[in-house]
Structures are given as structure tokens and as C-alpha cells.
Amino acid sequence: MSESAGAFTNRGQEETTCLPVCLEDLMEDGKIPAHVAIIMDGNGRWARKRGLPRKMGHVEGCKVVERTVEDAARLGIRYLTVYAFSTENWKRSEDEVEALMQLFRYYAKRLLKIANENNVRVKMIGERSRFAPDIIKAINSLEDTTAGNTGLTFVIAVNYGSRDELRRGVTRMLRDCEEGHITPDQVTEETIASYLDTAKIPDPDLLIRTSGEERLSNFMLWQLAYSELYFCDVLWPDFTKEELVKAIGEYNRRERRFGDAG
């Protein structure tokens, strides 16, 4: 294993396995995708396999989010977006939703420390007004306190649904038309993008979905138009830095054509 791969060990333990792709090559050739988005799926199945309640899968999943932020920052990824709670996830049992809210509370505080230690800027996308006032306050303070950090931008999608994001954006755009700030014939693709929660964030280069499911589940439908999609069977609580590097290795084997003849 190369020395540089060792330099990415950040969990207080020695690497024992060889990475599937040489990190040194990826770093040297500038092949690290600028924006990696992840649909973190499989927490419930991870817990079920162990005879544990679903919420324990979310607890483990949160630990993996924390490690992945640090790994992404060290790899030189500029933007990491994670899908943490969808507009459809409110359909789950009261007990599971409440457990997830408690985790948001706990991690909002914890993330503040991790973000500042790693020069990470945190941004939330999704519709936050549905959350309890203390969670909204924690989200706002996380964004405000880390706004000046210049390293990785960590985007967390909470109460996020792509169709809801488009609906909210279109409503605001129509209002701006009514008030005379823009006219309908001035609307370009860039205008639409600027009304989305992801305004000023570049589109993901690579989308990873764990747990073997191969669908978007209402995630970034506009932004993923030309992203490379990578699906792996590993359940989110089992996701490791090696899995991330494997996905980046696969990304580097793809030829992105953007509609050109290639």
C-alpha cells in the first residue's frame, strides 16, 4: 500500500487492507470528483440483520456520515451532499421519525465541532419550516457559524424532495415575475437553477447509492442530469473510505460525454 493512502487513515488505527485503487494516482491526476452526492440507504436492513430496532441503524449510519465527511475533506472533494431525510420519510412510524429528529438534534451540535475542526462549511437543503423550532435554530446556527470555512462544503438534504424543491422554486420565480423582477422570456436554465436550494452549488459529478437499490427516490432530479451513477450493495452503516475510493475509481473509468460524439 502506498504511503499516501496511509496518510488518509484518520480513524486512529492502522490500515490493514490494500485499497482497490491507488489513492496517490487519483490525487496526482486531479481525478477526484468536485461534487459527490450520496443516497445513504440501508440503515433499517442493517439493524434488522442484527435483530435491532430500525433506529439503531440510523445511529450507526450517523457515525458513518461523520467519518465520510472527514474522508471527503481529506480526499480533496469540494462538495459532499448526503440525503438524510426525504419529504416522503414522514410516512414512517412516529417512533422512527422521532428517533431521527433526536439524531438531528445531537448531530447538529456535534457537526459544529467536526466542521470547524476540518474547515468544513455546512449547508442544508430541503424545507426546514416543518421541523421543530429548536432543530431549525440548530440548522441556522450550523450554517451561520461555518459560513466562513473554506474547505469542503457539506450539504445535508433534510425534508428534501426534488419535486418539492422545484415547486418552491417555481412559486418564488412566479412571484418575482409578478413583481416585475424578471420576465418569462428571460428565464434560462441558469435562472431555474438559481431558484433551487442548490443555487451556487455545482451539479454532482458522482452519485453513490448504497444498499443495492437503483433509483433516485426524488433526489436532485434536476441536478443529476449528467452525473455518473454508482450503485453498490453495501448497507450505509457498513460504508467505508475504501468504498468511497472504489466509487471514485469507477468514476474515473467512465467517459463523460455530455451529449457530444466522444
| Residue 41 among the catalytic residues | yes
Binding positions for ligand IPE, 45-84, rule CB under 6 A: 45, 83-84
Kindly indicate which of the ranges 10-18, 35-43, 172-180, 247-255 contains the residues binding Mg ion, using the contact rule CB under 5 A. Answer: 35-43
96 lines the binding site for Mg ion (CB under 5 A): no
**What is the end-to-end Cα distance of the chain in Å, rounded?**
34
Closer Cβ to ligand IPE, 85 or 107, answer by number: 85
In angstroms, what is the minimal distance from the CB of 249 to ligand IPE?
A: 23
HEC assignment per residue over the chain: CCHHHHHCCCCCCCCCCCCCCCHHHHHHCCCCCCEEEEECCCHHHHHHHCCCCHHHHHHHHHHHHHHHHHHHHHHCCCEEEEECCECCHHHCCHHHHHHHHHHHHHHHHHHHHHHHHCCCEEEEECCHHHCCHHHHHHHHHHHHHHCCCCCCEEEEECCECHHHHHHHHHHHHHHHHHCCCCCHHHCCHHHHHHCCCCCCCCCCCEEEECCCCCCCCCCCCCCCCCCEEEECCCCHHHCCHHHHHHHHHHHHHCCCCCCCCC
- The single residue of 10, 25, 29, 41 carrying the catalytic annotation is 41
Kindly indicate which of the ranges 3-11, 40-48, 105-113, 227-235 contains the residues binding Mg ion, using the contact rule CB under 5 A. Answer: 40-48
Q: Which residue has the CB atom at the shortest distance from ligand IPE?
A: 44
Instruction: Please count the residues of this chain forming the interface with Mg ion, following the rule CB under 5 A.
Output: 1
Kindly indicate which of the ranges 40-48, 161-169, 172-180, 244-252 contains the residues binding ligand IPE, using the contact rule CB under 6 A. Answer: 40-48
41 lines the binding site for Mg ion (CB under 5 A): yes
In angstroms, what is the minimal distance from the CB of 145 to ligand IPE?
A: 24
Near ligand IPE by CB under 6 A: residue from 26, 37, 43, 123: 43
Could you list the residues that contact Mg ion (CB under 5 A)?
41
Could you list the residues that contact ligand IPE (CB under 6 A)?
39-45, 83-86, 89, 100, 211, 213, 215, 217
Active site residues: 41, 89
